[in-house]
Amino acid sequence: MKRLIILFALTAAAGGCAPGYRVQQVVVPDLDLHAVRPHLATICVLRPQSFGFLATFLHFDNGHFTGATQGAGVYTCHLAAPGRHRLVARSDNDAVAVVEARAGAVHFVKLDVCMGPDRLEHVAPQLGWAMVQHLQYVTTTRTAEDVQPPCRHPIDACPTHGADLARAPH
């Protein structure tokens, strides 16, 4: 009986730690990268490599959750207002990049999963378009509103929580 109670408690605790999102692969992206958006930019995070394929990364733009990537050979995109955007890819550690988004443009950033700190790196548009042809688009369905913000140490690392940067529409 004691084992049954302990097993039930562990099962309940594990269920309480389940993430509030679900990553899905889709055949047709819900965002047409070739559509002209004169007042918005498109930002795409590419994850081409197979290293670290088991890790799930949560993606944030100026502190707003924009999606997640899980596995290798995938990418995700979101619309953003023109201006400066602080992108964060969060897993065991944070990878950060700043993008100066231009209206009507598509910006590509590649997530490099490494043994040390992970990296978000800018990708030239020509290379980004070529890479997207070989990647699977993923979308994220949120099932909870409390996705963790990108600042692990809000007092030291992110005193403004991105308030000084332009906010992207969602």
156 contact partners, CB below 8 Å, separation of at least 6: none
pLDDT for res 134: 92
pTM to 2 decimal places? 0.69
Q: What is the pLDDT of residue 83?
A: 96
pLDDT of residue 161: 39
Q: Which fold has domain 19-142?
A: Immunoglobulin-like (2.60.40)
The confidence score (pLDDT) of residue 23 equals 52
Q: Rounded to whole angstroms, how far apart are CA atoms 165 and 13? A: 38
User: With contact defined as beta carbons under 8 Å apart, do 107 and 77 qualify?
Assistant: no
The CA-CA-CA angle for residues 46, 115, 100, to 5°, reads 35
- Cite the beta strand spans of 41-144 per DSSP E: 41-47, 56-61, 64-70, 74-80, 83-90, 94-101, 106-112, 119-123, 136-142
Q: Quote the pLDDT of residue 126.
A: 94
Each of the 170 residues of the chain gets a pLDDT tens digit; together they read: 555 444 444 444 444 444 445 555 554 555 677 777 889 999 999 999 877 777 888 999 998 888 888 888 999 999 999 999 999 999 888 899 999 999 999 999 999 888 778 899 999 999 999 999 999 888 776 544 555 555 544 323 343 333 333 333 33
